[in-house]
């Protein structure tokens, strides 16, 4: 493999959920193509220092805090890059075209084109649910659940066979995706929006959209499965050293598990894409 160039890219998300994209300036490779702002790490820099410098140099913005999110390796014709994507919600200053580039905050369905290949997966990740409700225990209180709001549902083996009924019962909650366990029958899996699995259950998956529980900091099963996102082990606490190790090489967004929160504000600084509440 050719030399790998470390790069940091920022996914800035405004109060309307739109994210900042800018075009590559004239004189650079892929001039005019759109990407997330950022640039190469300089010797001795941390990820945070790199994105703070790049955002000021490119757009005149002061980033107040950043959170790890996803790390990808992408091979272009001219270079192989290791892209550290970080997310930020707080900054000072409106963006300015300090390199004569175009820029703007765009909703996911209105991204400008063409977009660099390495940035394309971000759209599907930004579209994922933030708060999942996973049903595994006995006798959930359906009437109480109908009064709650969550973005996604995960159905354990005992509930997966009733996917049609449960989707109807919980329709008023506003959920946008319903996934089932890999232990569900293949015909049931096909009715779902995706399938979640442990590493040893992947052979039972009968769906193209997969989420995998990562084992410690070993991402090989997640990578091999082409997973859309990953579930943290239930034994790993958010913010712990074990949690931090998970973000050294994660190729997809990671969710905290077995937690109950009212919003993702606590999770954001720690890099979690959201949380999975199990009942």
Contacts of 83 (CB under 8 A, 6+ apart): 7, 8, 9, 71, 72, 73, 74, 118
Per-residue pLDDT at 217 = 76
Regarding whether 237 and 211 lie in a shared domain, the answer is yes
Per-residue pLDDT of the chain (279 residues; tens, 9 = 90+): 579 999 999 999 999 999 999 999 999 999 999 999 999 999 999 999 999 999 999 999 999 999 999 999 999 988 999 999 999 999 999 999 999 999 999 999 999 999 999 999 999 999 999 999 999 999 899 999 999 999 999 999 999 999 999 999 999 999 999 999 999 999 999 999 999 999 999 999 999 999 999 987 789 999 999 999 999 999 999 999 999 999 988 999 999 997 889 899 999 999 999 999 999
CATH code where residue 115 lies: 3.90.79.10
Regarding whether 179 and 61 lie in a shared domain, the answer is no
Domain boundary (70, 102, 123) is at 123
Per-residue pLDDT at 16 = 95
Regarding whether 180 and 88 lie in a shared domain, the answer is no
Domain range holding 158? 131-278
Q: Which two tokens stand for residue 40?
A: 């190469």
Q: How many independent structural domains does the chain possess?
A: 2
Per-residue pLDDT at 77 = 86
User: Would you call 23 helix, strand, or coil by DSSP?
Assistant: strand
**Side-chain half-sphere CA neighbours of 4 within 13 A:** 10
What phi and psi values does residue 100 have, to the nearest 5 degrees? 60, 30
Q: Which two tokens stand for residue 226?
A: 């082409």
Domain boundary (90, 107, 123) is at 123
Alpha helices in the chain (DSSP H): 47-59, 121-126, 142-146, 157-160, 163-169, 186-189, 220-225, 241-246
> What does the alpha-carbon distance between residue 161 and residue 176 come to, in Å, rounded to a whole number?
19
The answer, yes or no, to whether the previous bond of 114 is cis (omega within 30 of 0) is: yes
């Amino acid at each position: 493999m050719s030399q790998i160039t470390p790069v940091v890219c920022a996914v800035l998300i405004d109060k309307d959920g739109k994210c900042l994209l800018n075009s590559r300036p004239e004189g650079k490779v892929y001039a005019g193509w759109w990407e997330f702002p950022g640039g190469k790490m300089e010797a001795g820099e941390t990820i945070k220092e790199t994105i703070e410098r790049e955002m000021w140099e490119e757009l005149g913005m002061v980033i107040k805090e950043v959170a790890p999110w996803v790390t990808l390796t992408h091979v272009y014709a001219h270079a192989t890059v290791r892209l550290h994507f970080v997310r930020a919600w707080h900054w000072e200053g409106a963006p300015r075209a300090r390199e004569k580039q175009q820029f703007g905050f765009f909703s996911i369905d209105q991204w400008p084109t063409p977009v660099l290949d390495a940035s394309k997966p971000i759209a599907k990740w930004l579209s994922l649910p933030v708060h999942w409700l996973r049903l595994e225990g006995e006798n959930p209180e359906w009437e109480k659940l109908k009064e709650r709001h969550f973005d996604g549902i995960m159905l354990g083996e005992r509930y997966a066979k009733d996917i049609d009924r449960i989707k109807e019962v919980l329709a008023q909650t506003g959920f946008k995706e319903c996934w089932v366990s890999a232990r569900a029958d293949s015909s049931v899996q096909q009715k779902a929006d995706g399938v979640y699995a442990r590493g040893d259950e992947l052979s039972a998956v009968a769906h193209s959209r997969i989420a995998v529980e990562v084992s410690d900091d070993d991402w090989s099963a997640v990578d091999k499965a082409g997973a859309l996102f990953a579930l943290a082990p239930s034994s790993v606490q958010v913010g712990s050293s074990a949690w931090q190790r998970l973000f050294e090489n994660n190729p997809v967004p990671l969710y905290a598990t077995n937690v109950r929160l009212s919003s993702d504000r606590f999770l954001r600084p720690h890099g979690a894409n959201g949380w999975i509440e199990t009942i």
